[in-house]
Amino acid sequence: MSTILRKIVELASNRPSSPAAAGGSGGAARSSLGAFERLPEDVLVQILRLLGPKDAMKTSLVCRSWKSLVSDDRLWISFLQNQDQNLPWESIFFAETHLRFGCPIQTVSNEVPELSFMSIYSRRAQVPGAVIIDGGSGYCKYGWSKYDCPSGRSATFLEFGNIESPMHARLRHFFATIYSRMQVRPSTQPIVVSIPICHYDDTESAKASRRQLKEAIYFTLFEMNVPAVCAIDQATLSLYAARRTSGISVNIGFQATSIVPILHGKVMRKVGVEVTGLGALKLTGFLRELMQQKNLSFASLYTVRTLKERLCYVAADYEVELRKNTEASFEVSGEGSFTLSEERFQTGEILFQPRMAGVRTMSLHQAVALCMDHCHAAELNADDTWFKTVVLSGGTACLPGLAERLEKELHGLLPPSISSGIRVVTPPYGADTAWFGAKLISNLSTFPGPWCLTKKQFRHKSRFNLLW
C-alpha cells in the first residue's frame, strides 16, 4: 500500500484512540469520510483517480461512505479509458451496452441499462484476450485483441494454398500458418474469425455453402484444440466498428461489392444486393489500363495498387473535376516517381459509371438505393429509419470522397420519403474496420461467454442438426 494511500486511509478512518473519546459514535465515524468531509465530491473522485484502480478499491474497505464514493461510475469510466487507450470511450460504452449479451442483439428496451462500470472494469481486466483473424476477400489481417492494430497480413483462407485442395486441408494449413507466425499455441486462447462475404444470395445452395464453410471453420479449429470460437460475418463486424447494430454495410470486396442490410445484428439476406465484377480488382485493373494508355511503365500490379491507394479519390462531380488540374505524384520504392492526373478520379468513378470500364452492371448508388427500397417495402421493423445509416468497409471504400459522393447520389436517386436522413459513414478504421469490430467483441466484459462456441457445444449443435 502506497504512502499516499496509507495517509488517506488514516485520515478517512479518523477513528478515536479509545471508546470513551469516541463518545459512543464509532459506527458513525466508520461510515463518514472523516477529514475529507469538507472536500467537494469531484475533488475526492480526482484523488481516487490519481491513486489508480487497485488502491482505489482498497479505500472502499475503510467505510461505507468511501465504498459508495469508490463505486462512482465517473471514476471507473476514466480507468476504462486509460486501460484501453486505443479504443475511444464511445466504442467501449457501445460494446458494453449493446453487445454484451451476444447475437442476436437484445431489443427488449431502447433504454440504456444501469451498469456498474467498476464491475465492468474488473471483468474486462480478467478477459483472456483472443486471437483475431479477419478473413477478408482480398487478404487476411490477424493479431491479438489487446493490440493496437493487426500484427500481420496474409492471403485469405479462400485463396490460401492449393485452391484445388479440400476446404478442410486448406483451412488447417491456413490456421496453422497464422498460429505459427503469431508464435502461440491454439489451445491457449479463444479466437474470433470474420467470415468473408461469399455466396451472398438467399438460395438453398448459397445457404448450404455458407453453412458448410462455417462448420468447416469450427471443425478445423476445434480439431486444433482451440478452447472457444466465434465465427461472425465480416459485414456485421464492420457495422459494430461504426457503433451500430442496425444499418446497411457496404463492403467493396476483392471481386464483388456486397450491400448487406443488418437488423439488430442479423444479416437480412432477402433484401440485400450483390454487384459482381465491381470490386478492388476491377478498379486496380482499370487504373492499369489508364496508365498503359499514357505509356506509364510499371513492374507489377502491386505498383498500380499502391498508386490507387495513395493518389486516387472519388470526385464530387465528375464533369466538373475533368476541367480541373488534378496532377499529383507519388514515389514507389524501387520503381521511381509516378505522376497521375485525371486517372486519379477516373479510377473510382467506375463505381458510379461501371460502363467506363466495360462492366455491364448496376452502379454502387443504384445497388444501395435498390437495397434501401427493398428494406422500406419489406417493413421489417416499426422503425423505418434503421437502414438509413450506410457503413462502408473494405480497402477500396477508403478512397477519399467516396462517402460524400454516394450520399449525394442516393439523395438524388431516391424519393424524399426514403432519402431523408440518409448518412454514409466512411470506414471507421480504414481497411482494418472488420478487425476492430472483432476487437470490440473480444474485449467485452462478458467474452467469451455469449459470443463463442466451445467444442462440446459445437458437437451438440452438429448432432442436433443431423437429427433434423
CATH number of the domain where residue 328 is located: 3.90.640.10
Whether residues 285 and 414 share a domain: the answer is no
C-alpha–C-alpha distance, residues 10 and 29, integer Å: 12
Q: Would you say residue 241 lies in a domain?
A: no
pLDDT band, very low/low/confident/very high, at 462 (cuts 50, 70, 90)? confident
For the segment 179-210, what is each residue's pLDDT rounded down to a tens digit?
Answer: 999 999 999 999 999 988 765 666 788 788 88
Asked whether the predicted pLDDT for residue 266 surpasses 80, the reply is yes
User: Residues 290, 347: contact at Cβ < 8 Å?
Assistant: yes
Domain boundary among 346, 374, 398: 346
Q: Does 58 map to a domain?
A: yes
| Residue 29: predicted pLDDT | 42
In a domain, 67, yes or no: yes
Tell the burial category of 356 from Cβ atoms under 10 Å away from its Cβ (0-12, 13-18, 19+). Answer: middle
Asked whether residue 448 is assigned to any structural domain, the reply reads no
Q: Concatenated DSSP letters for 405-438? A: HHHHHHHHHS-HHHHTT-EEE--TTGGGHHHHHH
- The residue segments making up the domain with residue 329 are 280-346
Q: Are residues 294 and 406 in the same domain?
A: no
- Please state the rounded mean pLDDT for residues 256-281: 90
Mean pLDDT lowest among 24-28, 48-52, 126-130, 353-357: 24-28
Query: What is the reported pLDDT for 281?
Result: 92
CA dist., res. 465 & res. 426, Å (int) = 39
The reported pLDDT for the residue numbered 198 is 65
Residue 335 is assigned to a structural domain of this protein: yes
User: CATH number of the domain that 404 lies in?
Assistant: 3.30.420.40
Which of 319, 346, 373 is a domain's end point?
346
Residue 377 and residue 319 share a domain: no
Q: What is the mean pLDDT of the chain?
A: 86
Residues 286 and 330 in one domain: yes
Question: Is pLDDT above 90 for 288?
Answer: yes
Amino acid at 167: M
Tell whether 11 and 63 lie within a shared domain: yes
285 and 334 inside one domain: yes
Nearest residue to 217 via CA among 192, 241, 235, 239 = 192
Same domain for 29 and 50, yes or no, is yes
| pLDDT score for 87 | 81
pLDDT surpassing 50 at residue 251: yes
Can you tell me whether residue 255 is helix, strand or coil? Answer: coil
pTM of the model: 0.88
Same domain, 379 and 403: yes
Find out whether 195 and 157 touch, Cβ atoms under 8 Å: no
- My answer on whether 364 and 420 are in the same domain is yes
Least confidently predicted of 162-171, 234-243, 334-343, 394-403: 162-171
Which stretches within 167-324 are classed as H helix? 167-182, 204-223, 234-241, 280-293, 301-311, 318-322
Please report whether residue 214 resides in a domain.
Answer: no
Does 406 share its domain with 285?
A: no
pLDDT of residue 60: 85
Give the pLDDT score at 106.
Answer: 67
pLDDT at 200: 61
Are 405 and 373 spatial neighbours (Cβ–Cβ below 8 Å)?
no
d(CA 176, CA 161): 12
Residues 359 and 392: beta-carbon distance below 8 Å: no
Using the 8-state DSSP alphabet, how is residue 113 labeled? P
Residue 65 lies in a domain: yes
Looking at the fold, whether 426 and 315 belong to one and the same domain comes out as no
Residue pair 446/123 in contact (Cβ under 8 Å)? The answer is yes
Local confidence band at 23 (pLDDT 50, 70, 90 cut-offs): very low
Asked which of 129-133, 198-202, 356-360, 421-425 is least confident by mean pLDDT, the reply is 198-202
One domain, residues 417 and 324: no
What is the domain count for the chain?
3
In a domain, 18, yes or no: yes
Contact (Cβ atoms closer than 8 angstroms) between residue 11 and residue 34:
yes
Mean pLDDT of 327-350: 95
Residue finishing a domain among 346, 374, 396: 346
Cell for 43? 475533488
